[in-house]
Structure 1
Amino acid sequence: METSSTSFIEDLPKGPLDTYRTRSKLNWKKLKLVFEDEEQLKTKIKLWKTLEQNPIFHDSGRELNSDEMKRLAAVRLHQFRKLDFLPKSAVNKGNHKQRMRHLMTVNEAMNICFPDVSVKQAIGMLLLATALEKLGTDRHQFVINGIWNRQILGSVSLTEVAHGSNTKDMKTTATYDRTTQEFVINTPDFQAAKCWGGNLGKTATWTLLFAQLIIDEQPYGLHLFIVPIRDPKTLLSYPGIVVGDMGEKIGLNGIDNGFIIFKDYRIPREYLLNRAADVTPEGNYESSLADPAKILGAVLETLSTARVGIMQECSNMLVSGVTIAVRYGAVRRQFKPSDGSKQEELPLIEYPLHQWRLFPYMATAAVFRIFVTEFAEDYTSSVEKSASETHLGNLNDLVAEIHATVAAMKPLISWTCRDGIQECREACGGYGFLKSARLGDLKSTNDPCVTYEGDNNVLIQQTSNWLIRQWNSLLEEGKVNSPLGTCAFLKNYRRTLSKKFTPRVPGDVVDKKFVWECYEWLITYLVKVTDEKQKQLVDSGLCKFNARNNTQVYRAAILSKVYGEFTALNYYWNRIQRADQDLVLTLNKLGLLYGLWSLDKHLIYFYEGSFATDNGLIVTVKQEILKLCSSLKDDAVTIIDALAPPDFILNSVLGSSDGKVYERLESMFYRNPGALSRPSWWHEILPDSPINDTKLVSKL
């Protein structure tokens, strides 16, 4: 049982939301320390208060164009780097895990309120430094020092115009010249131009370059290089480089995504990240990994840091969206019973349909918040282990499982956030469409998360491939290589697959054990039939590549998703076991609601695999979802209070913690620039005004 003090958490203001807060018996501050690590929360609160006191981090109240957004994001990052949240002591190796954990916490806190600044920081500092520490050696320490001393802002040059996920066939080359002991970097054509790199467009001074290593015309595959691209004193590009901004996007325009083209651009031999492989001054290739595919895997694994960051980002955006919608739903009243009573109009949150729309996403936000926090511990431990080894050996079982989990969870969380924010926007009606509600900004910020750092539909294939390898290892060798235990249950596959759904007797409780057994059966069934289908296609003459492609729909892709859902639940349930007993009942309800709501999407497979034969399973799952939604109604606002960031960070006219929606709408209406004045073009639309097409076109 936990006994942490909650005195550092400020009380919430009084207001209309107190109607529901007084109904709840939950202590929202204690609940908050279940959803948040105490020390991390203290760091976040300190950071948020610091930002609130700095005018540069306040909303200007006017619409900015793309260039102004880039300038503001860059200036904010510049100001933020001067604060003490990323201290120079980060240069010292010390406790790598603790340092990385702190940096991820700071970036997560920044992301909730200023996602463009957070992304610039994550790419330009955290990702770059992590890659250098994992795949570089002491000869690259000067770059790491430059990052933490605010002398270097980095970028990543991976994706090419004509190549994204297919990294193995990228065209940018780094050819070794032994006469000068330099690598000569070239972009063979425009399709090989590196693109989409954050910070690359305007502000980065170095880039982490993925290029094909060539020695004496022999290719050695994709390797990583650290490359200076701009003079830090002028921000002008160096000769031999064409670098620029890709243009306006549909969101996140504070991030200067760019493209870069190299023409005989030379860098020292030492700029190759050489922990996995190196080139001697004489031009001899040396590697600690015998398999070239392992080198590529080690290189690409550096992207997991960014993917964990995206998981944090999306889970926080879902929290913000649900916070806005639930608080608004507790204040907004619509209709009343037609029984002749004098009852007031009911808040939206009282309606079962509204609960069904929002509460599963509230439960999801709780599960994802805990999953990301807990999983980050396993991830940072893995990074620390790999960074401490002298040489990179074959990817061990822990790293492989971490990678498979990230490959499932980044798509699952970003997709769920996408759908959840849209539901929250609609649940707030017309007011949800106001920019000041912030739901639109959340939506446009989350949108690229389903694509960058690994397109979701491609990424989840890596999870299913790993699960099928575990399945074949089990069938052939009798073992599952799962140090974290995320698929250890496969060892009991015979007993699991023999189970059948037993209709519930009235009064029986649907509990964690029920959800757990359903998921174990579903994952085991899907990995079995996916593997069987792939082998059947190979036996019929297809190569493994096509066999895998032809089993994605309705098989492998679903397998990865349900594995992700179950993994998130397991981390959640393990965490809440340490919570105070007066919180456990509600926390269990949230976990059950997420589990049943997720299973509801996959019920067809239970019938396909004969786990269930009548409609009993369907009725049970759907009835329990509705019961759980109803039972969480009086605690919903308190649960949201425990999840929500401070009002300054949430920055929504509909979602403030005092619940004074209409007072804030009134203030916003009157403060809206130009709201009460006639338009500057008023004379052009008078009935007797001549229409000047030439003048109109020139304005457009």
Structure 2
Amino acid sequence: MSGAGDGDAELRALFPAPPRGPLAAFREQASFDWRRMKLAYDSIQAIRAKDKIWKFMEEHPLFKHSEATPSLDEQRHLATKRMYVIHNADLVPLEEIAMHPRLFQSFTEAIFMWDSSLAIKLSLTFRMFSNTIRGSGRDHHFPLIEACDEGKIGGCFALTEIAHGSNAKGMRTTATYLPDEQCFELHSPDFEAAKCWVGSLGKCATHAIVYAMLVSKGQSHGLHAFVVPVRDPRTLRPLAGVTLGDLGEKVGLNGVDNGFVMFNKYKLPRSAALDRLGGVDARGDYRSPFRDPAKRFGASLGILSGGRVHITSISTNYLQKAVVIAVRYSAARRQFAAPGAAAETPVLLYQQQQVRLLPYLAATFAMRVFCNWFGEEHVRMSIDNMMGSSDAELAARGVELHALSSAAKPLSGWTARDGIQNCRECCGGHGYLKAAGIGELRNDNDANCTYEGENSMLLQQASNWLLGVWARRHQPAFADTPLGSVHFLARATSLLAETCAADTKEDIVQPATVVRAYEWLTTYMLRLTADKVSRLRSEGRSDYDVRNDSQAYTAVTLAVVYGEHFMLSHLYKTALALPDAACRGVLLRLAALYGAFMLERHMATLYIGGFFSGEQGLLLREGIVWLCAALAAEAVSLADTLAPPDWCLNSVLGYADGEVYKHIQDGILTYPGALERPRWWRDVVHWDTYVPAKL
């Protein structure tokens, strides 16, 4: 879209010009078209889908933000009612997602931009439940999918137990096959084995995907999935043999009814097993279409990676909203004046505000570009799996996607955590208002650092895969890793011999230079970790001790830089491919800032390994400051690119017109009870002990 045409006309129709106001001066400085920049991470079909969803919600009376926080029960109730309204509207049918896989990301992004509890409820109750059955079930399970699609039943996903979350091998819920009765006996030996943190189970779900240890003929075959009725769909009362309930109020996401469930020798028919990838036959003998257990494991990993893939997008959504609010507020908020200036200076023009805020604006674009591609890739893989593909390439994709998601999920959650907090602080005291909209984003994102795999544990899974890759880097087929996340390791020897040649701040933050630095850094950390593992083994340490004692400063850092490198290089390639020259130039600067900002955190390693020398570390920091100053004029228009509609953003600090103080005034004066005497005023006034003095 390099020139004005039908595409530009449609974008203008979908996104009218922002109102004039305090932000107009910044918008006039922008060197690119903020509407066209959306095409860096969205297709036009995805943009249309989001617009359709937002218009539906804006016009529906149930989708109105409340000024005061509702009770816990009412939050649960509202999220559930809204969930069924969205689901029944079928705004993005599955057939369209199959044709345009990116539409799934657009659907979830649009809902998340309005309310995260609603989006998670919707995903857990319908999408995750049905997709797991599609990926692991058989034809006889499909009526459950139809019942779910029709809203007759509601699903959930039960993996974590009270005493075991990360250690899947330590799970204690069992599904013992009884060949004489042709059924499984599902059992929780005690409360520590109760399935917990199950989203949508606390109040509503009628069926659960339960992961239990499959036991047959006295042998455990590890975790397998079962589709389990837990409530009567007509009464919502627990079924006999099932004990379940709500976990109560949480730090955030209180529209989601997280629950627990226990089973007391609960009988399930053999057909309840989701056994397309492996299970027992009528006699109790284990069968699998995969001769190689590693391939079966790889295919199952690809399915189970969906939650982590989804969380990269969830974290991005939270940071995206926070950055839009903070950038617009920083452009509208004026404090102090330069000598001789007629007006105070927008705080966005202060260096410290730029360095605190703009790297997270760049990170948002990096994460948005990555997670949209990542989600699309996972949808494609899931479709291939549903179509019955069981070839080696699909298994390899599943394993690599698992490794990449195990690095990207922690990276996204932590980047959003730090970025949202910086956005809150960049908005000063006003950022602490609930009406600012940042506090809830911070609280809701916090769960992303733990659920679907605690971050440090996930990084270990990524590093374990990388160590396996390192061992086979010289094999002829090495370059065939399907997602290409480690293709550069084929040049490991020459990479490790390199040093940084940049001698100016401009050169050291060139995106190509930063990407190359990350290739060296990832390779160096991989060799360092492999050498430590080898040394520990040579000392006679057990595998358990070797893994435990190689984490800090080696394996964990390795997995982090692996994720950072891929996210950066993907943004860089995306920027280079943009047809619009102005957008391409700005996106390349964002790639440079994101890469330099993340790389600076590894300064010690760059010097320890000999890649940096002399004053190159100072040059890198000067380059970051220089890039921030250069991007300040583009920041408001970049925020416009990322922003959902004002009614969806729901922030008195972040509306598109920039009239911050007007919106703060309206928000304060219209808050329920703000101008009223408290109902408990008599607890304050004590006339029997105090008489006001006469004036």
How far residue 422 of structure 1 moved from its aligned partner, in angstroms, is: 0.3
| Pairs within 5 Å for 1:66-465 | 66-87=72-93, 90=94, 97-98=98-99, 101-290=102-291, 295=296, 298-337=299-338, 339=339, 341-389=340-388, 391=390, 396-465=395-464
Q: What CA distance in whole angstroms lies between the structure 1 residues aligned with 2:243 and 2:297?
A: 27
Aligned residue for 1:608?
608
2:574 is the alignment partner of 1:575: yes
How far residue 307 of structure 1 moved from its aligned partner, in angstroms, is: 1.5
Q: What CA distance in whole angstroms lies between the structure 1 residues aligned with 2:507 and 2:215?
A: 67
How far residue 510 of structure 1 moved from its aligned partner, in angstroms, is: 3.9
Change (3 A) 1:86 1:588: closer
How far residue 394 of structure 1 moved from its aligned partner, in angstroms, is: 9.2
Q: What CA distance in whole angstroms lies between the structure 2 residues aligned with 1:366 and 1:259?
A: 37
Contact 1:275 1:392 in 2 (8 A): no
Q: Which amino acid aligns with 1:110?
A: I
Contact 1:209 1:225 in 2 (8 A): yes
Change (3 A) 1:114 1:625: same
2:12 is the alignment partner of 1:7: yes
TM-score where L is the length of structure 2: 0.95
Change (3 A) 1:130 1:478: closer
How far residue 279 of structure 1 moved from its aligned partner, in angstroms, is: 2.1
Aligned residue for 2:43?
37
Q: What CA distance in whole angstroms lies between the structure 2 residues aligned with 1:677 and 1:374?
A: 51
How far residue 254 of structure 1 moved from its aligned partner, in angstroms, is: 0.8
How far residue 658 of structure 1 moved from its aligned partner, in angstroms, is: 0.6
Change (3 A) 1:31 1:491: same
Q: Secondary structure at the match of 1:223?
A: strand
Change (3 A) 1:395 1:20: closer
Q: Secondary structure at the match of 1:82?
A: helix
Contact 1:526 1:559 in 2 (8 A): yes
- The CA deviation string for residues 293-343 of structure 1, in whole angstroms up to 9 with x for no partner, is 665554454332122211111111111101111100001110112x3x142
Change (3 A) 1:477 1:39: closer
Contact 1:107 1:121 in 2 (8 A): no
* Identity between Structure 1 and Structure 2 (%): 37
Aligned residue for 1:25?
31
Aligned residue for 1:539?
538
Q: What CA distance in whole angstroms lies between the structure 2 residues aligned with 1:181 and 1:397?
A: 35
Aligned residue for 1:556?
555
How far residue 216 of structure 1 moved from its aligned partner, in angstroms, is: 2.6
How far residue 476 of structure 1 moved from its aligned partner, in angstroms, is: 6.6
Q: What CA distance in whole angstroms lies between the structure 1 residues aligned with 2:146 and 2:101?
A: 15
Aligned residue for 2:483?
484
Q: What CA distance in whole angstroms lies between the structure 2 residues aligned with 1:631 and 1:242?
A: 59
Change (3 A) 1:466 1:483: same
Q: Which amino acid aligns with 2:321?
A: S
How far residue 503 of structure 1 moved from its aligned partner, in angstroms, is: 4.9
Q: What CA distance in whole angstroms lies between the structure 1 residues aligned with 2:201 and 2:506?
A: 61
Q: Which amino acid aligns with 1:42?
A: R
- The CA deviation string for residues 581-637 of structure 1, in whole angstroms up to 9 with x for no partner, is 1222111111000000000000111111112232x2211111110111111111110
Aligned residue for 1:527?
526
Q: What CA distance in whole angstroms lies between the structure 2 residues aligned with 1:64 and 1:190?
A: 31
Q: Name which of structure 1's ranges 175-184 and 657-666 shifts more when overlaid on structure 2.
A: 175-184
Contact 2:202 2:260 in 1 (8 A): yes
- The CA deviation string for residues 355-380 of structure 1, in whole angstroms up to 9 with x for no partner, is 11101001111111111112223222
Q: What CA distance in whole angstroms lies between the structure 2 residues aligned with 1:391 and 1:271?
A: 22
Q: Secondary structure at the match of 1:530?
A: helix
- The CA deviation string for residues 223-268 of structure 1, in whole angstroms up to 9 with x for no partner, is 1100111111111111110111111111111111111111121111
Q: Which amino acid aligns with 1:192?
A: A
Q: Secondary structure at the match of 1:61?
A: coil
Contact 2:251 2:444 in 1 (8 A): no
Q: Which amino acid aligns with 1:607?
A: Y
Contact 2:126 2:148 in 1 (8 A): yes
Q: Secondary structure at the match of 1:7?
A: helix
- The CA deviation string for residues 91-113 of structure 1, in whole angstroms up to 9 with x for no partner, is xxx68743754344312211121
How far residue 508 of structure 1 moved from its aligned partner, in angstroms, is: 4.9
Aligned residue for 1:663?
662
Q: Secondary structure at the match of 1:260?
A: strand
Change (3 A) 1:395 1:556: farther
- The CA deviation string for residues 433-470 of structure 1, in whole angstroms up to 9 with x for no partner, is 00000100101110101111111111111111111111
Aligned residue for 1:594?
594
Q: What CA distance in whole angstroms lies between the structure 1 residues aligned with 2:331 and 2:467?
A: 46
How far residue 287 of structure 1 moved from its aligned partner, in angstroms, is: 1.8
Change (3 A) 1:68 1:515: same
2:625 is the alignment partner of 1:620: no
Q: What CA distance in whole angstroms lies between the structure 2 residues aligned with 1:251 and 1:59?
A: 16
Contact 1:470 1:481 in 2 (8 A): no
Change (3 A) 1:510 1:672: closer
Q: Which amino acid aligns with 2:369?
A: I
Aligned residue for 1:698?
none
Aligned residue for 1:639?
638
Q: Secondary structure at the match of 1:266?
A: strand
Where does structure 2 lack aligned partners over 5 or more consecutive residues? Answer: 691-695
Q: What CA distance in whole angstroms lies between the structure 2 residues aligned with 1:452 and 1:269?
A: 30
- The CA deviation string for residues 50-96 of structure 1, in whole angstroms up to 9 with x for no partner, is 10111211013222121111111111112212213154xx4xxx687
Where does structure 1 lack aligned partners over 5 or more consecutive residues? Answer: 692-700
Aligned residue for 1:695?
none
Q: What CA distance in whole angstroms lies between the structure 1 residues aligned with 2:281 and 2:477?
A: 43
Q: What CA distance in whole angstroms lies between the structure 2 residues aligned with 1:652 and 1:80?
A: 23
Q: Which amino acid aligns with 1:275?
A: R
Change (3 A) 1:84 1:459: same
Q: What CA distance in whole angstroms lies between the structure 1 residues aligned with 2:324 and 2:293?
A: 48
Aligned residue for 2:693?
none
Q: Which amino acid aligns with 2:225?
A: L
Contact 1:86 1:148 in 2 (8 A): no
2:494 is the alignment partner of 1:495: yes
Q: Secondary structure at the match of 2:185?
A: strand
Q: What CA distance in whole angstroms lies between the structure 2 residues aligned with 1:100 and 1:141?
A: 21
Q: What CA distance in whole angstroms lies between the structure 2 residues aligned with 1:629 and 1:272?
A: 55
Q: What CA distance in whole angstroms lies between the structure 1 residues aligned with 2:477 and 2:136?
A: 34
Change (3 A) 1:674 1:689: farther
Contact 1:113 1:650 in 2 (8 A): yes
Q: Which amino acid aligns with 1:261?
A: M
Q: Name which of structure 1's ranges 138-147 and 648-657 shifts more when overlaid on structure 2.
A: 138-147
Q: Name which of structure 1's ranges 28-37 and 433-442 shifts more when overlaid on structure 2.
A: 28-37
Q: What CA distance in whole angstroms lies between the structure 1 residues aligned with 2:29 and 2:143?
A: 58
Contact 1:205 1:230 in 2 (8 A): yes
How far residue 278 of structure 1 moved from its aligned partner, in angstroms, is: 2.7
Contact 2:113 2:317 in 1 (8 A): yes
Change (3 A) 1:393 1:625: closer
How far residue 385 of structure 1 moved from its aligned partner, in angstroms, is: 2.2
Q: Name which of structure 1's ranges 292-301 and 644-653 shifts more when overlaid on structure 2.
A: 292-301
Q: Secondary structure at the match of 1:316?
A: helix
How far residue 282 of structure 1 moved from its aligned partner, in angstroms, is: 2.7
How far residue 220 of structure 1 moved from its aligned partner, in angstroms, is: 1.7
Moved over 6 A (4+): 392-395
